[in-house]
Amino acid sequence: MMDANTLARCTGSTPGAAAIYAGHLAVQMERFEIDTRARKAAFLANVSVETLRLAAVEEDLNYRTADRLRLIFPSLFVAAKGGKHRAEDYVRRPDALSELRYRGYHGRGLLHLTWLENYAAAGAELGFDYVGKPSLVSLPEHAAATACWFWAEFKKLNPAADRGDMYEIRGKVNGPARLQLAETMSLRTTALRVLGEG
């Protein structure tokens, strides 16, 4: 059973943040068979990295400089890379940037569900209108449910977790860049230790 103390220790989150999500995660992890020590550890390590230790269940699109926007989104803001927009027009305008880049379906939830088609697939599976109300995915119940669905059903990551293949997992969660792979692997090691104490 995933309680708040265990969740906090596995993810490095504050006790308060863990208390918000522990009950929802306990239900959804069982539902989607994220139910072994190896699966839980790999899943929680990725959740921790994606949410900055359960502190951010929504992608931060509030960029403070045009240069940073050009660096992160060159295909939108760098003419030589095909960009057709002025970065200056999107500084400190997260809603506008979300519409431009993601049509409003930017990363939300415990694994930062992104893109319209993924919101639609999650909604069809879980029985909620995430397309019509994308902000639902940021609420604790839905943040946990969409993350567990994405992990187990959409990306089918339980077998990779059984093998301890964090390279494959990080590629399917984060994309080809596999950002923060080493950190995720370290968090998995911590979670395995914590979960082994029970």
pLDDT in tens, 81-140: 999 999 999 999 999 999 999 999 999 999 999 999 999 999 999 999 999 999 999 999
pLDDT in tens, 70-92: 999 999 999 999 999 999 999 99
- Written as six digits, the tokens of 170 are 């990080």
Q: How far is residue 78's CA from residue 82's CA, in Å, rounded to a whole number?
A: 6
Q: Are residues 166 and 127 in the same domain?
A: yes
Q: Are residues 152 and 118 in the same domain?
A: yes
Q: Are residues 141 and 76 in the same domain?
A: no
DSSP state of 190: H
Looking up tokens 């839905």 gives: 142
Q: What is the pLDDT of residue 186?
A: 97
Q: Are residues 21 and 82 in the same domain?
A: no
- Written as six digits, the tokens of 111 are 């694994």
Please tell me the total count of domains within the chain: 2
Q: Are residues 179 and 117 in the same domain?
A: yes
> Mind spelling out the 3-state secondary structure of 30-56?
HHCCCCCHHHHHHHHHHHHHHCCCCCC
Q: Are residues 76 and 157 in the same domain?
A: no
pLDDT in tens, 28-76: 999 999 999 999 999 999 999 999 999 999 999 999 999 999 999 999 9
